[in-house]
Structures are given as C-alpha cells and as structure tokens.
Structure 1
C-alpha cells in the first residue's frame, strides 16, 4: 500500500532554469484551442527540463518535499502541465488558476476546468507518468489518496473526485481532502478537513503553506505499509480542539497600485540590499495594512 499525496504547484519557480514559458505571450487574438495547442508544443520543446521537484520553490514546496518517504508518492496539480509526478521532467513556466495575474488561465477564453480537461487530452501522458487523476486512482486501488490543495486547484478536480466517489474508488477509508474554507460539493464534504487559520500557532509557517503543513502533521509517523484512517481523524480533532484562536486585526486592504507604491518606497530605503518578500510583507502588516501573501509575492515579482 502507498500513500499518494497530491498538492498544487507554486507560482514561485527557481530562477536558474533556462527558457521560462509564459502563458501571457500566447494570449491575444488567438483562439482558445490555438492557445492550448501552442502551449503544449512549447512545453514539449522547453529549452531546459528538470524534475518538477527541482522547479518549484518557496515554503509550500519545501514542506511538500519533506514529506516524501518510501511509501509516499508526491504528485503535483500544475496549471501548466496538469497532474504530474514530482519526478516528471518539466520546463519552467508561468500559468496559474488564480485570477488577477497576466498568466491567468481565464484570460485564454477557457474556464479553469475546461483548460484542465483540454490539457490532459493534448499532453504526453507517458512523459508525465500519469494519464489523469481518474486513471491514477483507478490503477492504484487499495492505496490512500491525500489531497492538500488551495481552493482554486481543488475546484478543477472536483468533477473527477465526484466520479471516483460514485464509483466507490475513493471512500472514507482511503481519501482525505485538506484545504482552506471552500464551497465544496456536498458529495465531497465527508472527506474534507479544513485547514483553519487557528492551526498556524501549532503548525507554524505562513498561511500560504498551511494546507501542506496540515497534511504533513496528519501523515507524520505513518508507518510503511500501514495506514490508520481513524488515527488521521483523531489527530485532526485534537488539533482543532487545542488550537489557539487567531486574533484578527482590522487592517486596511491595499489595491495593487498601493502595494507597488509601498514596495518601491521600501526598496529605496534598502538601497539595493537584498530583501525578502516575507520581510516586506511583515513590515506592511506591522503598519496595519493588508495584502494577501500570494498577491504580494506576485506584485513584487512583477516589479523586480
């Protein structure tokens, strides 16, 4: 028996990989079908390909890699590639299911779910080591499937998950979903474990890595070839019971323009010295100002 941990990719990619492919360069007067075809062609011909676990960066991915052990396979929900194994060789790319980015999937004319389905029809399953999420589960009956993903990524695989539940390939014995509060389909609610902000005091780290940190906590000490679903539920219930209530500060939410202005001012102060996104965001929040971590990182990246 194996545990298949499925988590989302990250916007942060390592900068030493040559030839980054950006979705924004294909968006324009092209039809949605042309964009998908061109995208898959560019991915196939990527200048440099390395294992996925060497492409992604940031706290989320660092935690995800730390969970890998002999009986656990790590899979990635990638907006650019679809479902891939962490060892699949891929190029560096920019594409996201999150709205508001110049590389957002919704700018292609397709919904996130339509893009996901079309991508799996066009891509090379042999190279990426799996045909689809449905085929992964169907060919590994008896294994455990643990999904730790953000709501945007969870939404694109909901239809496949519902079908697998209907086919009784995913059950209360072998299936868990870890995500933040989400309008999840009622059919999937019995498998849902909410990653609540109150857990941060115990699990440490920022909100952006909370889903994968909760998964690590629940899977920690799971022995090879032994999986106890009751133990997972008990650990979650104990965590929820003992969580320290997070104090919510009434910060002023900033627009993109205001965030950029703040960052420019801070960078001028540092006068070229190296400064991290987390340091700048902490300073912004200490001034009782608000910006979601993923949005802040994106704006900083675009500015630099």
Structure 2
C-alpha cells in the first residue's frame, strides 16, 4: 500500500506523457507533384518508400508540423499535450514523414494510409505496415529523435504513450504499437484512443470511441477521436492520477454512459448519386478518413446509401480530389 501511494505521487508530479496524433489532409501549402505519392513509379513498397524519402530529404521544409496541418481535427489535436500536463509532448503519426515531433519542420505533401486513394502508400494493410517500418529507418526531419512507437518506448520506458489514431493509421502501426506496449515498464502505460475492434493485435490497448460521444463532446465524427482524447486527458489531469489506460478507459466509459439514449432510428432517406458525391466532396477537405467512416457519418445524419454504391462513389471522388494527402 505504501509503495502504491509513493508511485501515485511520483506519477502525479513527474510523469512524462507522449501524445501521438494522426496527421491531417488539410495543410497550409500546396504539395508539389513530386511530393504526392501518386507520382511515384510503380513497384514494391521498399523501392517506392526509398524514392519517397529521397524526395522528402531534398525538399524545402516550409513550416513546423504544428503550423503545416489544419482543419477541425488538428484544431483540437494540437492542444492535447497542453491538456495532458506540463510534462507532455506532442508527436504526429504521418504516412509521409513517419513519427515526428510537432515542432519538426516539414514540406507540404500528399500521402495516406487509407486504402483506395491516389496517394495511398500501399494497396493493403500489409503494405502500409511495411511502409511505416521503412520510414522508421530514415532519420527524418529531426535527427536523433525516435522514429517509431517502439523506439519512443525504448527511449522513455517509464512514460505513458497515448496514441490518438484513425482506423487506417491504427492498422498500419499495429505491430509497432504492440512492440511499444511490451517495451514500456507497464503495458497499462500504452493507450490507443480510436475505433475498437479494428485490429486484433492491439485491440486490448484500445479505448473505444463511439459515435454516441458526439452528443456529449460536439463537433463532427472527423474530429471525434481528438475531442474524446481531450476530454479524458483533461479529466485525468483534474483527478491528479497518473495517465494509465485503465483510468482513461473508465473516464471514456463514463462519458459514453452520459450520452442520451436514443430510440431506434427509422430507415434513412435514400440519396441520389449526385447527393452522395456532394456529401463526399464536402468532407474530403478534412482528414484522415475512409469510405467506411464517412458512410457511418452519413447514416448517423438520417440519410442512407448502399455500402457498395457509396464506396464506388467515394473512390471516384477521392481520385479526383487533388488535395488529398
């Protein structure tokens, strides 16, 4: 009992927290053609990633990551370290740059782990994981910094890592995240805030975020992960307890339980192809997202579209959207 009390006090006073957030589609600056994944030659993931790294290394780094990213998700995400506490650091999980600190200087680029876009780094989850692994071998924009979740855990094993990730990024980083959990002094020190049930490898570390939380936290589904993270990190800090997955899970469950109970929904209003295209174009300015996530948002608004038809229209609009990362 005495030992537990000492540990709690130490955690409150000096626990380091690393918050890692998914990057965004929206950026302040237009990505040149050579910094769009679509411009890479066809070939294996290793060869394409090597060419990509050479291009990034030669590019002029225009802004810090904090200033480069934009949009609703980033407006909330950039404040998460400040919310978590004085000893918290903010990192970005980027399909283009890998793991980077928020003050790293980067160039505008277009790359995504979401499958089915012109700037997808790979056609499937296996390829995305290989791409993430290959990016970690590059020094990146700040030499000497950890380039993966597991490297971050090795450098700071007593810290807490809170990863706020969208589905495609959670899948791409799953192997790395599991290794990080095993490296930390306590597995309870790794928390993944995002959709549950998306990757069996790391589902035990996921604190599920559900659409019901929008009625409690506000905003759209595209910023929900960041808003949910802000809510539980703020509540954790107010409690005076160290950041642990077990505590954050309870705080998230409390927030979800506070959401008003809704009656079963009537069948949604069926949309025409043109209406669906308009909906998709409106939301592609934000990121990251996928056809599945966007269809859930459409249906939550009382409208409907068949899954196969929506995916076909989504892919067509994503290909024509020059701003997709």
TM value normalised by structure 1: 0.78
Secondary structure at 2:122's aligned position in 1?
A: helix
**Structure-2 residue corresponding to 1:270:** none
**Structure-2 residue corresponding to 1:184:** 199
Q: Answer yes or no: is the 8 Å Cα contact 1:8–1:150 preserved in 2.
A: yes
Question: For the residues of structure 2 that align with 1:34 and 1:190, how far apart are their CA atoms?
Answer: 34
TM value normalised by structure 2: 0.74
Question: For the residues of structure 2 that align with 1:245 and 1:296, how far apart are their CA atoms?
Answer: 36
Question: For the residues of structure 1 that align with 2:116 and 2:152, how far apart are their CA atoms?
Answer: 31
Decide which moves more: 193-202 or 59-68: 59-68
Deviations 1:140-191 (A, max 9, x none): 122111111012111122112222333453422x2211111333226x3443
**Structure-2 residue corresponding to 1:74:** 90
**Structure-2 residue corresponding to 1:50:** 63
Secondary structure at 2:100's aligned position in 1?
A: strand
Unaligned runs of 5+ in 1: 268-275
Kindly report which structure 2 residues correspond to 1:139-218, keeping only aligned pairs within 5 A, or say none: 139-167=155-183, 169-172=185-188, 174-185=189-200, 188-218=202-232
Deviations 1:278-299 (A, max 9, x none): 9xx9xx987935569x979957
Secondary structure at 1:12's aligned position in 2?
A: coil
Q: Answer yes or no: is the 8 Å Cα contact 2:91–2:102 preserved in 1.
A: yes
Kindly report which structure 2 residues correspond to 1:21-100, keeping only aligned pairs within 5 A, or say none: 21-28=35-42, 30-69=43-82, 70-100=86-116
Q: Answer yes or no: is the 8 Å Cα contact 1:181–1:194 preserved in 2.
A: yes
Q: Answer yes or no: is the 8 Å Cα contact 2:37–2:119 preserved in 1.
A: yes
Decide which moves more: 111-120 or 47-56: 47-56
1:5 aligns with 2:19: yes
Q: Specify which structure has the bigger relative contact order, considering alpha-carbon pairs within 8 angstroms and separated by 6 or more residues.
A: 2
Deviations 1:106-125 (A, max 9, x none): 25997100111112123437
Question: For the residues of structure 2 that align with 1:296 and 1:150, how far apart are their CA atoms?
Answer: 22
Q: Offset at 1:238? A: 1.4
Q: Offset at 1:129? A: 2.6
Q: Offset at 1:19? A: 7.6
Q: Offset at 1:98? A: 0.6
- Cα RMSD over matched residues? 3.8
Secondary structure at 1:122's aligned position in 2?
A: coil
**Structure-2 residue corresponding to 1:14:** 28
Secondary structure at 1:7's aligned position in 2?
A: strand
Q: Aligned in 2, Cα 1:77/1:252: closer, same or farther, shift over 3 Å?
A: farther
Q: Aligned in 2, Cα 1:34/1:299: closer, same or farther, shift over 3 Å?
A: closer
